[in-house]
A and B are shown apart, each in its own frame.
Chain A
Amino acid sequence: GGIITQTPKFLIGQEGQKLTLKCQQNFNHDTMYWYRQDSGKGLRLIYYSITENDLQKGDLSEGYDASREKKSSFSLTVTSAQKNEMAVFLCASSPGPGERLFFGHGTKLSVL
Chain B
Amino acid sequence: SQLAEENPWALSVHEGESVTVNCSYKTSITALQWYRQKSGEGPAQLILIRSNEREKRNGRLRATLDTSSQSSSLSITATRCEDTAVYFCATDAEGGYQNFYFGKGTSLTVIP
A residues contacting B by CB (< 8 A) are 4, 31, 35, 40-45, 48, 50, 56, 58-59, 90, 92, 97-106
- Tell me which of A43, A50, A97 contacts B43 (CB under 8 A): A43
Per CB-CB distance, the 3 closest pairs between chain A and chain B, nearest first, are A103-B42, A42-B102, A43-B102
Q: How large is the interface on B (under 10, 10 to 19, 20 to 34, 35 or more residues)?
A: 20 to 34
Task: Considering the complex, give the chain A residue whose CB is closest to the CB of B104.
Answer: A42
Q: A43-B43, A58-B99 are in contact. List 15 more A-B contacts (CB 8 A).
A: A31-B98, A35-B102, A40-B104, A42-B101, A43-B88, A43-B102, A45-B99, A48-B98, A50-B98, A98-B92, A99-B48, A100-B48, A101-B35, A101-B90, A105-B40
Helix, strand, loop or mixed for chain B's interface? strand
B43 near A101 with CB under 8 A, answer: yes
Chain A residues contacting B102 (CB-CB under 8 Å) are 35, 42-44
- Tell me which of A4, A42, A45 contacts B2 (CB under 8 A): A42
Q: In whole angstroms, what is the CA distance A44 to B104 when docked?
A: 10
- Could you write out 26 A-B pairs with CB less than 8 Å apart? A41-B104, A42-B4, A42-B101, A42-B104, A43-B43, A44-B102, A45-B100, A48-B99, A56-B98, A58-B99, A59-B99, A90-B43, A97-B97, A97-B98, A98-B30, A98-B31, A98-B92, A99-B48, A100-B45, A101-B33, A101-B100, A102-B45, A103-B43, A103-B44, A105-B41, A105-B42
Chain B residues contacting A43 (CB-CB under 8 Å) are 43, 88, 90, 102
Chain A residues contacting B92 (CB-CB under 8 Å) are 98
Chain B residues contacting A45 (CB-CB under 8 Å) are 99-100
